[in-house]
Amino acid sequence: MFEGWDAVVLARAQFAFTMSFHIIFPAFSIGLASYLAVLEALWLATGREVYINLFNYWLKIFAVAFGMGVVSGIVMSYQFGTNWSAFSDKVGPVIGPLMAYEVLTAFFLEAGFLGVMLFGLQRVGPRLHFLATLMVAIGTLISAFWILSANSWMQTPTGHAVNADGQFIAADWLKVIFNPSFPYRLVHMVLAAYLTTALVVGAVGAYHLLRDRHLAGPRVMFSMAMWMATLVAPIQIIAGDQHGLNTLEHQPVKIMAMEGHFQSHKDGAPLFLFGLPNQSAGRVDYAIEVPKLGSLILKHSPDAPMAGLDTVPRENWPPVAITFWSFRIMVGMGMLMLALGLFSLLMRVQGKLYDSRLLHMFALAMAPAGFIAVLAGWITTEVGRQPFTVYGLLRTVDSASPLAAPAVASSLIAFIIVYFAVFTAGVIYLLRLMAAPPHPGEEGPSHDVPIRTAGITPAAGAVTEGAAR
Amino acid sequence: MIPIDLAIVWAFIIAFAVFVYVVMDGFDLGLGILFPLFPEKRDRDVIMNSVAPVWDGNETWLVLGGGGLMAAFPLAYAVLMPALYTPMIAMLLGLVFRGVAFEFRWRTQRVRNRWDIAFFGGSLLATLAQGIALGAILQGIHVSGRHYAGGWWDWLTPFSILTGAALVIGYALLGATWLVMKTEGALRDRAYHLSWILLLAMLGAIGAVSIATPFLHVQYTQRWFAWPNILLTAPVPVAVAAITVLLLRSLAKKYDYQPFFLTLALFALSYAGLGISMYPYIVPQSITIWQAAAPENSQIFMLFGVAVLIPLILGYTAWAYWVFRGKVKPESGYH
């Protein structure tokens, strides 16, 4: 009995660990693929060399990030079977087809055109090459569509029935795909990917502007990234608010955990700015709260009553402290992004966008903010969904494979060791690529022959490494 | 309207996806396995460049095979994956190493050798794991109710090690004949030489697996040798012999393209042999394709996508291969 419980916890840890690593790369490559398509379109439209330089510069970074996303994604797709076989048997008929459509419509599109995008410019010419870039960018968005549809269905299941074998089956595919939380989740995630990428691009631009504020490439990328932050950060906050209202309607218990509402509030719930949720005592310790603000945000009315976790059986409580804190981290990052966008707008109208060292340092410091927000947001929504894999219908403990704990433990250890070794190296190589500024005549990986140097001939590679030291 | 047996249709689709994976990722895993035999840095660069633009697409077929199995035969997926737990994890970790090596080995001068080792080790591990998984499936899996009921070391037997070794040899042969097709000069000569050795080894492996398989279960024996089945199964070994003759001839005459495509034909025949042995089970001796099949509306829903998208995918994949056709030349990359 205890052993079975142990294997479930280990399988959850493994899923959380591998997923946390994985989600970083799609978040980055969704945004970067679109950015590359924009850069190439600008180059084709204007003929300005700076755009193709930037394209080739970010293409190398994209190749490394995409490779890591692919390999960590293959792990995810098999983990459903290895660690969550009961879930796969019961839910496979519904979410299996959604994921199969992701493979058929997105993964093949990305992978099929990636080679041409990376190495084919000389072979197919600029127009067909742009088509390949566009296909890769569209592929990343289609991928987001299907995987978020599958995830959203697990959060807000609709359009299904249960058959004699205890399997979920689709009664109405349109209702399954376009389930109630899906549009909100898709918009929130795609915007998050765009912001995450913009913050990295902006930070790289800022880093090089801090060294030399006259470099053409860094000026262009910094300006583009700051426009993105200025325009999209406020939109994302609105989208997040709408997503929150949707969650309140369909997953109220998750909202209770996010807000730390152990108690029901008949005439207006407070907003906890700080506090330590105490799950066993069912209260928030050391709470600093603003009265009625919680109701105002969630119900847009200060006196609206809010039910708390005291209305929910304890065995259905999610882990409150994790959900509460990850939510606050995400929101905090969002506020910082808003501040960066507004600050850059102020500098821009004053004509000091490329001269304000304070802005550049702020932008540089914000490089990881998107990743942190994506991870925190993912933790909020996934931990807040517990103890269910299919919300309200299938419990996490009933989803796991019939495996012995040592099997799951040893695979978890193997994943930790391998991921840290491989992805540490990957991040070092990415930082090394970013540490050198894009230069005029930036070589793309677009030779006559597919040389996977991504433009780094042995000589240029030595230069890059020299610059990193 | 004639009723269509969706389970059979889907069994063919999944089998097709897995086969495309085997031949496409097979040759690029094989290149990794051959890496230690080509110690020169320039040779390794050429070998890697010969697949760099297409390996992502090759590996996507593995995701389709796994994802499609979950969608079309969720019960089989739910039983097989825990049964093959260790080989599957090993395969995934191997694929992680070799996948990132494609990007990473160009990014470093100092530790390039480490990524070469990762490329080799990852390719070997993934191949061995796939071969072992195949053997473990063939020898049968303990099932109770809708769950895997065996231990987590059941997959490890002399037979599964034999199939693991056989696949390593087979993928290496695919890799060697791919190099014959895609390279020139001393590198190609080396690949010819290796193709000879690996072909002989592969014939030995096919023979060993073919002899061992009927001993696993009486059903396999009956399938292959009982009258009148033998009328249907006999063409397989006959075709293997014919292809082998052609392959030996093409190697002797030093043809560029024939060895690779004839090796693919050998793979196709071996694969068909596996299908003949297993049918109609998807988990041998336990679960048939009809028992494992997903509800009809899931299978129909996906069938629309497959019918439209697989031809499209094959089309643009072929285009990508066409764009990068011809021999890989190390020098012209530095124009």
pLDDT class of A458 with cuts at 50, 70, 90:
very low
Q: How many residues make up chain A in this entry?
A: 469
Do A452 and B298 make contact, defined as CB atoms within 8 angstroms?
A: no
Mean pLDDT of B261-279: 87
Mean pLDDT of A52-74: 89
d(CA B238, CA B249): 17
Chain position carrying tokens 């930790």:
A416
Do B323 and A115 make contact, defined as CB atoms within 8 angstroms?
A: yes
Q: How much of chain A, in percent, has pLDDT values that exceed 90?
A: 38
Query: What is the per-residue pLDDT across B243-256, written as a single tens digit (0 to 9) for each?
Result: 999 999 988 888 88
d(CA B332, CA B335): 6
**pLDDT reading at B150 higher than 90:** no
In three-state secondary structure terms, B266 is helix
Do A167 and B295 make contact, defined as CB atoms within 8 angstroms?
A: yes
Mean pLDDT of A278-290: 83
pLDDT class of B177 with cuts at 50, 70, 90:
very high
pLDDT value of residue B195? 92
pLDDT class of A464 with cuts at 50, 70, 90:
very low
Q: Does A387 touch chain B (CB under 8 A)?
A: no
Q: Does A163 touch chain B (CB under 8 A)?
A: yes
Q: How far A346 CA sits from the closest chain B CA (Å)?
A: 39
Interhelix angle B85-104/B55-72, rounded to 10 degrees, is 150
Question: Average model confidence (pLDDT) for chain B?
Answer: 86
Do A96 and B97 make contact, defined as CB atoms within 8 angstroms?
A: no
pLDDT value of residue A468? 35
pLDDT class of A275 with cuts at 50, 70, 90:
confident
Q: What is the dihedral of CA B74, B78, B79, B85, to 10 degrees?
A: 140
Name which of A94, A402, A450 is nearest B148 (Cβ-Cβ): A402
pLDDT value of residue B114? 86
pLDDT class of B67 with cuts at 50, 70, 90:
confident
Extended strands (E) in A163-307: 168-170, 271-278, 283-290
- Chain B residues 34-63 with a CB less than 8 Å from chain A: 45, 48-50, 52-54, 56-57, 59-60, 62-63
Chain position carrying tokens 């996010």:
A258
Contacts of B78 in chain A (CB under 8 A): 81, 85-86, 88-89, 92, 401
Query: What is the per-residue pLDDT across A317-335, written as a single tens digit (0 to 9) for each?
Result: 888 889 999 999 999 999 9
Residue B30 burial (CB < 10 Å; 0-12/13-18/19+)? buried
Please state, in angstroms and as integers, the Cα–Cα distance from residue A280 to each residue in A13, A265, A287, A322, following that order.
22, 20, 16, 14
d(CA A78, CA B253): 43
Mean pLDDT of A290-314: 84
Write down the pTM of the prediction: 0.87
Q: Is the peptide bond before A319 cis (omega within 30 degrees of 0)?
A: no
3-state helix, strand, coil in chain B (%, to 5): 80, 5, 20
Do A112 and B317 make contact, defined as CB atoms within 8 angstroms?
A: yes
Residue A446 burial (CB < 10 Å; 0-12/13-18/19+)? buried
Q: How far B138 CA sits from the closest chain A CA (Å)?
A: 19
Chain position carrying tokens 């070589």:
A443
d(CA A465, CA A148): 39
**pLDDT reading at B33 higher than 90:** yes
Q: Does B325 touch chain A (CB under 8 A)?
A: no
Query: What is the per-residue pLDDT across A35-45, written as a single tens digit (0 to 9) for each?
Result: 999 999 999 88
Query: What is the per-residue pLDDT across A176-234, written as a single tens digit (0 to 9) for each?
Result: 999 999 999 999 999 999 999 999 999 999 999 999 888 888 999 999 999 999 999 99
Least confident residue range of B46-55, B118-127, B181-190, B213-222: B213-222
Instruction: List the helix and strand counts (H, then E) for chain A.
Output: 15, 6
Name which of A90, A96, A109 is nearest B71 (Cβ-Cβ): A96
pLDDT class of B123 with cuts at 50, 70, 90:
very high
pLDDT value of residue A459? 33
**pLDDT reading at B233 higher than 90:** no
Q: Does B67 touch chain A (CB under 8 A)?
A: yes
Do B97 and A73 make contact, defined as CB atoms within 8 angstroms?
A: no
Do B146 and A165 make contact, defined as CB atoms within 8 angstroms?
A: yes
Do B72 and A96 make contact, defined as CB atoms within 8 angstroms?
A: yes
Contacts of A91 in chain B (CB under 8 A): 74
Beta bridge partners of A271: A290
- Count CA atoms closer than 13 A to B46's CA, side-chain side: 24
Name which of B79, B85, B301 is nearest A407 (Cβ-Cβ): B85
pLDDT value of residue A359? 94
**pLDDT reading at A377 higher than 60:** yes
Interhelix angle B158-182/B258-278, rounded to 10 degrees, is 150
d(CA B50, CA A246): 50
